[in-house]
Amino acid sequence: MTRTCYIILILFIIYLAFHVGRAYGDPWQDCATTYCTIYYTDTKDLMRFEKRVGDIDSLASRVLEITGLRYKEVPKAQIYLQHENCYIAFGITAPAAYYPKEKLIRANIDYVKKHHIAHELTHFYVCQYFLMYMPGQMQEVVAQWVEGKT
Ligand SMILES: [Zn+2]
Global pTM reads: 0.82
CA 118 to ligand 1 centroid distance, Å: 10
Query: How confident is residue 25, by pLDDT bands cut at 50, 70 and 90?
Result: confident
Backbone dihedral region for residue 140 (phi beyond 0: left; psi -120 to 50: alpha; all else: beta): alpha
**Domain range 27-149, CATH class:** alpha beta
pLDDT band for 18, please (50, 70, 90 cuts). Answer: low
Regarding predicted confidence, which is higher, 145 or 8?
145
Distance 119 CA to ligand 1 centre (A): 6
Please tell me the distance between residue 136's alpha carbon and the centre of ligand 1 in angstroms: 8
CA of 137 to the centre of ligand 1 (A): 8
Residue-wise pLDDT for 26-79, tens only, equals 899 999 999 999 999 999 999 999 999 999 999 999 999 999 999 999 999 999
Does the pLDDT of residue 119 top 70, yes or no?
yes
Whole-number Å distance between alpha carbons of 115 and 98: 13
53 CA from centroid of ligand 1 (Å) = 17
35, 77 contact by CB (below 8 A): yes
CA of 131 to the centre of ligand 1 (A): 19
89-128 per-residue burial string, b: 16 or more CB within 10 A, e: under 16: eeeeebbbbbbeeeebbbbbbeebeebbbbbbbbbbbbee
**pLDDT in the model for residue 48:** 97
Q: How far is CA 34 from CA 72, 73, 74, in A?
A: 15, 11, 9
Among 62, 53, 150, residue whose Cα is nearest residue 107:
53
